[in-house]
A and B are shown apart, each in its own frame.
Chain A
Amino acid sequence: MNTDAIKARKVALQEAMEREAVEVLVLFGNNWHADHLRYATDFGIQEGQGIAIVRDDGSTTLILDDAAECERARAEAPTLDAIFAPSLMLEVKRQLARAGNHKIAAAPYHLLPFGLLHGEKDLRVSDGASIVDHLLMRKMEVEIASVRRAAKLADQGYAIFRNAARPGRKDYELVAEMEGFFRANGVAENFMIIGVGGVEVRGMAPPSGKILKKGDLVTTELTPCFEGYYAQICRTLVVGEPNDAQRSAFAQYLESMEAGIAAVKAGVTAAHVAKAENDVFRKYGLGEYVTSEYTRVRGHGMGLFPDQKPQILEDVHIVLEAGMTLIVHPNTYHPAVGYFVLGDSLVVRDDGHELLCGTPRELFSTILQ
């Protein structure tokens, strides 16, 4: 538990609420979108749903609709006021009724239970994105310390992954080895997708039972979570020796990623970084493959959520600020070899970046027995 980060987040949240003149903040979360809840309570929700009610006097109540999760919250954070309520919506309504006519904001607004907002004439709840979004994007140094640890675990995890990737193994067996390693090392969550094969592979997804064979590209994004904070690494390996096309593709992705990373510094936009990456593809006549037909993003923010703002795209004009944690990854389809990934996590600094990943930027290959 990073107690310094928990204390710092609490202060930052109170200050943000004061700036926006919000007296009560309602934060919703589940195992998919756990970030808002974690920011306020440090509880990493696993089953069911939860809502934290944060008041301007600094008190916070965590309401969970799963009894075992509530018991865990009380054990993991003994000072937290955690309540089990089979109906989250009814309990939150009851709590908010107590707050009277206070100015209430909520986030993420679109995920709030419909019953909480619908038909309640006296309950006016505004969108609290302006309070929370910036806090989630720009990390304090005490938060960056956890992201740094997560990045180290990503490096270690990738070493396990490389060793596990052998011909004849199934894709989900690689994941199983990874997850055992992560649980033994205090990682409770991991965002991970995988791709196995050649030109027929258009992207990554959860494992579907593919068997690794000679010549396959094996792509993965590993995103372990440490003390609630995610860091990501993307690498591609070849089962056996890489061929010329695979080596050539790797050189293009490496040049693109390094161009993107070199463009990162406080004050530039996410679009600027994406353009630096994409220009390399365009230079090699691969401009078609940086469109949404073939790729989603050229990187993204990470923190309490593994895929947060800013998305690195040429039409995203969010200005990068010192303290944002990002992955720069020019992951996309390559017509000669198939889907290919390469990416490193970093912290945006005033004069550039601090690299968080230490795994060599290589096209790895597995040894055939």
Chain B
Amino acid sequence: MRRGLMAWDRDEIPPGAMEARLERLRVEMKHDGLDAFVAYTNIARGAAVCWMTGFTPYWNEGLVLVGATGNPLFATALSKRVADWISSVMPLGDVETTPKPSGLIGSLIAKSGAKRIGILELDDFPAGHAQAILQSVEGLQLVDATATYALARDAMDDVELRLLATANRLAGASCAAAKVDAREARDFIAPPESVARLGGAEECFALVAQDLSKSGAFLRTESLGALGETFAARVSLAYKGVWTRQTRSFARDRAVQASFDKAALALEHFRPEAAASISDQIARSFGSLGRIVNWVAEQPRGSCPLAPVADLANTPQAKVPATPFVLNLELEIAGARWIGARLTNL
């Protein structure tokens, strides 16, 4: 669950910026002939609703209804006692708490006379909510509006870029707090989590690849044992709903650590040219440091806070995204696995 700082600072997220986002969505809705737009949210799939309203439910679930005019409505199954709190931390939208949010959304759609409803990620939309909305009005048409949303969401505005910069700073401080001399992986990763949350992170997932000589998989604290000779920390965190990741690799051996530091520095300074091939630019910047094993570029997509937008295995010819992205990179440096991740092109 979200248990870090959840607060709204008007200087950080001015209402006008949120209204501009809503307007962009309405332009696309009109273009696609949608009478209304509905998006689902929970802690795993909160990115779209957060982009529209500035809020992610810390627990439970909710739906946002965007009509042709007026404020979006956030309907949530959270207790009515937290409705005022939600209103105080949600920059845009009205709040209704109800045990059946889709029933409420359906009744509002019925009242408005809307017939063609765009649903974000219709195939993945929870079936129970879809059925409840469909049952509310005869002849209602639910259409997939993932592309509609994507067009509205395409650019990153100044508000998002500023929040991303804060998230990036927090992720850097968090990774730097890893207790590198710890024997147990749990002791290694506990300080980064505290540092992220002390800095105001809304959420933090701190994972460890405890022995890079055996595996590059990042595990949760419940599965961890002793650290190996080389190991890595991966911190994924949200600040005011904006997510980033950072990964740092460490080695007990000083010479290996020195080669890891070089790779980390190269990643920190990596500024690929927009619209050029990512693969080519990664090869140019990192090829001399080691063998390029894998890379994955991530950005927010639909309801996912971070999702792959390009990777070596499936889209090796992909171009550099126009907006900042998280680059996850794996190299083999003199026989050792090195993994890094950073926000790129901010």
Contacts and interface: CB of A to CB of B under 8 A. Distances in A.
Partners in one complex: yes
Interface string A262-274: 0000000000000
B187 A184 contact: yes
Contact of A206 (B2, B128, B308): B2
B81 to A, nearest CB: 4
A121 interface: no
A158 B7 CA distance: 24
Interface string B246-264: 0000000000000000000
Contacts of B236: 47
B107 to A, nearest CB: 18
Contact of A113 (B126, B198, B200, B221): B126
B194 A207 contact: no
A109 B128 contact: yes
B245 to A, nearest CB: 10
Contacts of B6: 205-208
Interface stretch (A174-182, A237-245, A345-353): A174-182
B194 A177 contact: yes
Q: Which secondary structure characterizes the binding site on chain B?
A: mixed
A299 B180 CA distance: 42
A296 interface: yes
B270 interface: no
Interface in A164-212: 172-173, 175-177, 179-193, 202-203, 205-209
Interface string B69-95: 000000000011110110011000000
A75 B209 CA distance: 10
A183 B122 contact: no
Nearest to B202: A206
B191 interface: yes
A110 B127 contact: yes
Nearest to A50: B44
B131 to A, nearest CB: 8
A61 interface: no
A177 B304 CA distance: 28
Given A114-B122, A175-B197, A207-B4, A186 B127 contact: no
B292 interface: no
Contacts of B153: none
A19 interface: no
Interface residues of B, number: 64
Contacts of B224: 186
Contacts of A32: 1, 42-44, 59-61
Contacts of B206: 183
Contact of A176 (B84, B198, B223): B198
A30 B42 CA distance: 9
B274 interface: no
A296 B198 contact: no
Interface stretch (B108-116, B156-164, B212-220): B212-220
B128 A188 contact: no
Interface in B174-216: 186-187, 189-191, 193-198, 200, 202, 204-207, 215-216
Nearest to A93: B123
Nearest to B223: A76
B205 A46 contact: yes
Nearest to B216: A71
Contact of B130 (A109, A118, A179, A292): A118
Contact of A203 (B79, B200, B207, B296): B79
A49 interface: yes
B45 A67 contact: no
A30 B45 contact: yes
A319 interface: no
Contacts of A48: 44, 304
B200 A184 contact: no
Contacts of A55: none
A251 interface: no
Contacts of B122: 114-115
B184 to A, nearest CB: 8
Contact of A209 (B7, B80, B221): B7
A116 B82 contact: no
A68 interface: yes
A192 B198 CA distance: 16
Contact of A208 (B88, B130, B198): B88
B186 A184 contact: yes
A187 B215 contact: no
A294 interface: yes
Interface string B300-338: 000010101000000000000000000000000000000
Which 6 pairs from chain A and chain B are nearest by CB? Answer: A110-B128, A115-B123, A180-B194, A176-B197, A75-B217, A184-B190
Interface of B: 1-7, 42-45, 58-61, 79-82, 84-85, 88-89, 122-130, 186-187, 189-191, 193-198, 200, 202, 204-207, 215-224, 236, 296, 304, 306, 308
